[in-house]
Structure 1
Amino acid sequence: MSETVDGWTHVYSGKVRDLYVPTKMMDDDDSWTGDPLSHSPVVLVVASDRVSAFDEVLSPAIPGKGAMLTKLTRWWFDQLPEVPNHLAHPLDDRLEALELPEVPDELAERATLCRTLDMFPIECVVRGFITGGGFKEYQETGAIGGIPLPDGLSNGDRLPEPIFTPAWKAPLGEHDENISFERTVELVGDVVAEQLRELSLEIFEHASAIAEQRGLILADTKFEFGADRAIGIVTLADEVLTSDSSRYWDAEAYATAETPELRMASFDKQIVRDWLAANWDPEAVEEPPTLPHEIVEQTAERYRALVDRLTQGG
């Protein structure tokens, strides 16, 4: 699944991203135990074109997806200059002393050199509108993540104000679990929990305003944070406000479309999810089917459309 990168050793693969550390650090240090990321001050994050749905990596991949996710994350980091992030800057004296291997040109559009952080086991979900799993929870309980909401909300409605509804990041192979803020405090402490909530809501508000200027609605998103190993501050990490981590809608369609499907057509892989749900019964067939060419192309176009709308200002 992972790619070979000269000078870098592959240490982890997620559904979409592959992580690498400098090979010479592993070769020169016989103390490597457990997680290599706990030893290396830097990690090379390479976004693949892989696409997943219902916890399955599907075939074929979405052409250009990794480059688009990387471009959008870089762009959003530029829009958030006051928020500490995990990007490793080439002029950092600590990095210069490491004499890191070059990133191959063929990976440049998909690779990001990052400082390693002590990651918090929390997905920081912010919802400005009610839909998806949040709407299902609301229908059952009248609340999301323990936060009571007004009666009578419909799928796709704007919430009175954005809400922070965290999830616990389960170990690889297990499902993440929605948790209350009180449980977040138990996991990371009251000071960090409050910082995660405040930062998430502030970034969401700022990003929503930028999206609105471009005729887009940011319905919900998720952030991940870690502690900077040198100075301990809470630092934004991973992908940020991309199609894979966020739900965007077209503002005009939201206001004028006659059906929920058109009103809330998102700029992400929902096309893949819908097709797979209609064409695969995992209880009858273990392996998911191959995605049709037209589904792959339609999905790629939705990813491209969001990148263009945001980075080109309309």
Structure 2
Amino acid sequence: MTAPFAPPALPGYEHLYSGKVRDLYAPLDEAGAQRTDRLLLVASDRISAYDHVLDPPIPDKGAVLTQLSLWWFDQLADLAPHHVVSTDVPEAVAGRAVLVERLDMLPVECVARGYLTGGGLAEYRAKGEVSGVPLPAGLVDGSRLEEPVFTPSTKAPMGEHDEPISYDGVVAEIGPALAEQVRDLTVRILLRGNEIAAERGILLADTKVEFGLRGLDLAKGEDAGEAIRSRGASCEVVLADEVLTPDSSRFWPAEEWEPGRPQPSFDKQFVRDWLTSPESGWSKDSGVAPPSLPAEVVQATRARYVEAYERLTGTPFA
């Protein structure tokens, strides 16, 4: 990890937390107290890889993530409600922040895969399965799966690794009815995303989505996990955080797809590849912080994020 972040001070908001990429603030009411129904979600230009936040940031990355998520929320509106309340935000974070509903977030990362690569490929090579889902023999890097698979993971604290878990592990965390609901919804989001992306010449290899619950209404001192397991299935599941962005998904140019090798991508895989190349001189198992990104890697990464936005939405990035 790099040094602690210094998020901007925003009049009328109190800083709550900074993650690898996002900063969270609570709006203040007229008496100066935190509102409990809203959050300001700010996407920074920070970029992370292998559980490290890298230097320098990628210019305009936060704006691309925010604007692309807003576009996708509209495309997915018939599948699930989303958490965005307003884009009327402080000028200092305009274009890269949204005011959102404060939800009770589910304690699992919901991942669906349509193609085999990355951590899923490594697990398949070791076990012949991904998150407890057996897969056919003979698959290679970039293989298209016959049906999308749900491959959830834990939500690790910042600086620690998310770990794959089985579907039974999700059931243990949130209960059987809610587990089934979010599994099916995650797969439907991947399928819808691929339908739309395919029209733009893009393959959506996999994606991670996050969900929160509307209407859980925790009592003071009540254990959130127990409340989710006992009555979460009766709540409304809401799509939260970001959705189908180059940070949460792998996007590949369809015309260059060739199973059996790493695929060219519009996401931060480009940064991961540089970090693990001889040019960087760094090993992800070294225990030391990665080197600074060269200017050409920063510029090329920005270009990939912007191209993903423009190809998917059909509009120029401003």
Instruction: Specify if TM > 0.5.
Output: yes
Gaps of at least 5 residues in structure 2 are 218-233
Give the partner amino acid of 1:187. Answer: E
SS in 1 for 2:112: strand
Other-structure match for 1:260 = 261
Say if 2:82 is the partner of 1:85: yes
Look up the SS of the partner of 1:178 in the other structure: coil
From 208, 211, 215, the counterpart of 2:201 = 215
Spell out, residue by residue over 1:58-115, the C-alpha distance to the aligned partner (whole angstroms, 9 max, x if none). Answer: 111100000000010000001012111111158xxxxxxxxxxx62223120011100
What does 1:31-50 align with in structure 2 at a 5 Å threshold? 40-50=36-46
Counterpart CA distance in 2 for 1:141 and 1:285 is 26
Shift of 1:284: 5.9
* Distance (Å, rounded) in 1 between the aligned partners of 2:64 and 2:298: 15
Q: Which residue of 2 aligns with 1:245?
A: 248
Provide the residue aligned with 1:107 in structure 2.
93
Asked if structure 1 preserves the Cα contact closer than 8 Å seen for 2:110 and 2:208, the reply is yes
Q: Report SS of the residue matched to 1:134.
A: helix
Are 2:55 and 1:59 equivalent residues in the alignment?
Answer: yes
- Give the AA of the match of 1:84: P
Answer whether contact 1:25 1:40 (CA < 8 A) is retained: no
Contact 1:59 1:291 in 2 (8 A): yes
Match of 1:167 among 153, 164, 178: 153
| Residue equivalent to 2:228 | none
Structure 2: how far apart are the matches of 1:26 and 1:178? 44
Provide the C-alpha distance between the structure 1 equivalents of 2:31 and 2:24, rounded to a whole number of angstroms.
Answer: 14
Match of 2:17 in 1: 12
Structure 1: runs of 5 or more not aligned? 30-38, 91-101
Structure 1 CA distance for aligned equivalents of residues 141 and 285 of structure 2: 29
SS at the partner of 1:222?
Answer: strand
**Counterpart amino acid of residue 15 in structure 2:** H
Distance 2:209 2:113 in 1: 12
Counterpart CA distance in 1 for 2:33 and 2:161 is 37
Aligned partners of 1:310, 1:28: CA distance in 2, in Å? 40
Q: How does 1:161-200 map to 2 (within 5 A)?
A: 161-200=147-186
Query: Residue 112 of structure 1 aligns to a residue in which SS?
Result: strand
**Corresponding position of 1:27:** 32
List per-residue Cα deviations over 1:24-65 (Å, max 9, x = no partner). 478347xxxxxxxxx710000000001111111111110000
Letter in 1 for 2:97: A
Query: Structure 2 length normalisation: TM-score?
Result: 0.86
Aligned amino acid, residue 74 of structure 2: D
Deviation at 1:3, TM superposition (A): 1.1
Partner of 2:68 in structure 1?
Answer: 72
Instruction: Flag the 1:203–1:283 CA change in 2: closer, same or farther, 3 A.
Output: closer
Alpha-carbon distance change, 287 to 26 in structure 1, aligned in 2, over 3 angstroms: farther
Give the TM-score normalised by the residue count of structure 1.
0.87
- Cα distance, 1:298–1:203 mapped onto 2, change above 3 Å: same
Deviations 1:120-173 (A, max 9, x none): 011110000111111111111111111111111111110010000111112344
Q: 1:251 to 1:186 in 2, by over 3 A?
A: same
Secondary structure, counterpart of 1:88 in structure 2: strand
Q: Deviations over 1:168-188 (max 9, x none)?
A: 112344321110111110100
Tell me what 2:229 maps to: none
Cα pair distance change 1:61/1:194, threshold 3 Å: same
Identity of aligned residues (%): 50
- Distance in 1 of aligned mates of 2:284 and 2:249: 26
CA distance in 1, matches of 2:204, 2:89: 33
SS at match of 1:50: coil
Distance in 2 between residues matched to 1:25 and 1:140, nearest whole Å: 57
Structure 1 contact 214–313 (Cα < 8 Å) conserved: no
Q: How has the CA–CA distance of structure 1 residues 285 and 145 changed in structure 2, closer, same or farther, with 3 Å as cutoff?
A: closer
- Over 3 Å counting, the alpha-carbon distance change for 1:28 and 1:220 in structure 2 is closer
Q: Distance in 1 between matches of 2:284 and 2:198?
A: 39
Conserved 8 A contact 2:47-2:58:
yes
Structure 2 SS opposite 1:247: strand
Residue 35 of structure 1 corresponds to which residue in structure 2?
none
Q: Offset of 1:289 from its aligned partner?
A: 1.4
1:134-145 correspondence runs (5 A): 134-145=120-131
